[in-house]
Structure 1
Amino acid sequence: MAAAPESAAYLPPLSWSTVFSQWSIEPVAVVLTVWVVGLYLLGVRTLRARGDRWPVGRTISFVGVGMGSFYLVTGSGFAAYDSALLSVHMAQHMVLAMLVPMALALGAPVTLALRTLPSTPRRWLLAVLHSRVARVLSFPPLTFVLYITTPWALYFSGWYRASVESSYVHEMTHVHMVLVGALFFWPLLGIDPVPGRVAYPFRLLMSMLTLPFHAFLGVTIMGQTTLIGGDWYPRLHDGPMGTWLPDPLDDQHLAGGLLWGSGDLVGLAFFGVLFTQWVRSSMKEAAREDRRLDLLEAREARAAAQASAAHASAAGESGAPDSEAGAPRDVRTDTIAP
């Protein structure tokens, strides 16, 4: 990525066709996508080879939605236009920070790894999951703070300008967004056996608390008169794309609206997923409790029946007539004639 915006390669006006026709290959994204998808599919194949089942929905969520979305926004027109339009950059970051981590977590890759890894690597993975570092990094209040402060630090510091000027910082920012989102969403979804899982009411509270922060950040960006990225976007107008690029401030207001709207939309969807999980978990727990009570009642009924049978048997034995002592006597009395 060039340091001078005026020298940026010409891109045609943004449209749905150019989003899928203008590709910008990022080496880190390509290698990471191929490596992660390959390992996941290898794990699924290992399970099926030994006769075990793995839900197709989890594979679709992880490979199709999670890694597919990751590669789409880091390799398609999203990547090509992300340095030309703040609104595209914002949409890209929302996908990386919210949609991708949630879809990856729903794919349960940790569970898959624990079921397919050999004994030694499995012990290593369990040691990592149970380590103090993992417990600290997955501590819900800490992950919440990291999640809500990352976009503020990105858009209101020199970090954003560095990300559009340096391809390395740009790619590492993408990885950072996914990791922070994963640390926040993974324990809250609670599908994998990772540390940091809490009760469902607290999970719902955490998900709802993200909504006002997204809204406040979006409104703040929409109301800004200072351009994010400094003179980066105005200088793009001096280059070949100046004929079609929108006013930088107007595009910045659009970016704030995207953050507000998409953040609340995805946040509400996440709340719905958590609430559905809670209902299903409660129903399963109620069913288990009913089975336990039925089993306990059946045992008590059998014990009562056995006790009643034993009591009846004992009563029958104690009340049986003695053949010798209890037999009536046949006493004959001689009648004496007067």
Structure 2
Amino acid sequence: MPAHGHDTGSSPLEWLLPALVLLAAASAYLLLARRARHRNPALGWSRWRTTSFLTGIALLGAALLPPVAPFAHEDFRGHMAQHMLIGMYAPLALVLAAPVTLLLRTLPAARGRQLTAVLHSSPARVIAHPVIALALSTGSLAVLYFTPLYNATMDNPAAHWLLHAHFLLSGCLFAYVIAGPDPAPSRPGVRARLVYLGVAIAAHAVISQLMYGGFWVDIHAPIYQVQAGAEIMYYGGDIAELLLAAALVATWRPDRHRQSTHSPAAPRQMSAPA
């Protein structure tokens, strides 16, 4: 008997909408990347970033389409694998593609200023604070698995898709705050971000170990599935967070303003946006 309440004998049309949405997202990014290269051939647009975005879309497709998606409906191990793909691996690939920078390069000047104003607004600063990102991406896991919320989402298709959206958006937010190449209005220094990442790693480990031991867990699934899901969360989360740490190191750049203030001979000039 399936561990969850979904009907696994659904029509293939159920997977058509997510497939079309992912295809549209990939097409839109490719179109914007082409426009960016045509607008400024010298600056162009990184093919590596394009590859990163398409990789993120492929990871989402693997999570939301067969065979993983039907398996996730009936087996907690599939759910956890799906969660890792949607909430950790795909967000990192999508964020490293720098979609906001791509938009700023292709939007008309007036629209670009509007987008920049939104990014620097007070609500955006609050949402992009590492504590908020950490609470939404990692703290929500305790609420999901240690309360009846998980079982409720498994019995309600709309809630299940909302859970997917939460995984994806909160994962993108955390990856953006920690290692995103896109501009951020109030991103802390590298050391502070490493501390927040360390807290996320520790929280993942504690939640997965409690889940494996059966402490406070409220998941309607066989014990062996819950324990295997906890192992997927433990080891899969470690790998994803190591990749995020590597991305943080790879995307880190010295503070140019600080360098210029410490170098009296440095000429004062405006630099072109990256």
Mark yes or no: TM-score above 0.5: yes
Counterparts in 2 of 1:72-221, with a 5 A limit?
A: 72-221=62-211
SS of equivalent residue, structure 2 residue 50: helix
1:38 matched to 2:12? The reply is: no
Q: Distance in 2 between matches of 1:133 and 1:263?
A: 29
Q: Distance in 2 between matches of 1:201 and 1:274?
A: 10
Counterpart of 2:141, as a letter, is P
Per-residue deviation at 1:294?
A: 7.2
Q: What number of residue pairs does the alignment pair up?
A: 261
> What do the CA deviations read for 1:143-193 (whole angstroms, capped 9, x no partner)?
112222111112222321222222211111111101111111102214101
Q: Distance in 2 between matches of 1:127 and 1:6?
A: 43
Q: Is the 8 A contact 2:180 2:251 kept in 1?
A: no
Aligned to 2:223: 249
Aligned to 1:61: 52
> What do the CA deviations read for 1:94-133 (whole angstroms, capped 9, x no partner)?
1111111111110000000000011232232122212221
Aligned to 2:249: 275
Q: Distance in 2 between matches of 1:213 and 1:131?
A: 30
Counterparts in 2 of 1:186-335, with a 5 A limit?
A: 186-224=176-214, 228-230=218-220, 233=221, 248-278=222-252, 281-282=253-254
Shift in alpha-carbon separation, 1:115–1:225, aligned structure 2, 3 A: closer
Q: Distance in 2 between matches of 1:106 and 1:6?
A: 34
SS of equivalent residue, structure 1 residue 176: helix
Shift in alpha-carbon separation, 1:72–1:226, aligned structure 2, 3 A: same
Q: Is the 8 A contact 2:87 2:171 kept in 1?
A: yes
Counterpart of 2:9, as a letter, is A
Q: Is the 8 A contact 2:175 2:244 kept in 1?
A: no
Return the TM-score normalized by structure 2.
Answer: 0.84
SS of equivalent residue, structure 1 residue 172: helix
Shift in alpha-carbon separation, 1:137–1:226, aligned structure 2, 3 A: closer
Counterpart of 2:52, as a letter, is S
Aligned to 1:334: none
Q: Distance in 2 between matches of 1:175 and 1:144?
A: 16
Q: Is the 8 A contact 1:29 1:171 kept in 2?
A: no
Per-residue deviation at 1:253?
A: 0.5
Shift in alpha-carbon separation, 1:226–1:136, aligned structure 2, 3 A: closer
Gaps of 5+ in 2: 268-274
Return the TM-score normalized by structure 1.
Answer: 0.69
Q: Is the 8 A contact 2:201 2:241 kept in 1?
A: yes
Counterpart of 2:57, as a letter, is M
- The percent of aligned pairs where both chains have the same amino acid is 29
SS of equivalent residue, structure 1 residue 83: helix
Q: Is the 8 A contact 1:208 1:271 kept in 2?
A: no
Q: Distance in 1 between matches of 2:4 and 2:161?
A: 18
Q: Distance in 1 between matches of 2:4 and 2:206?
A: 32
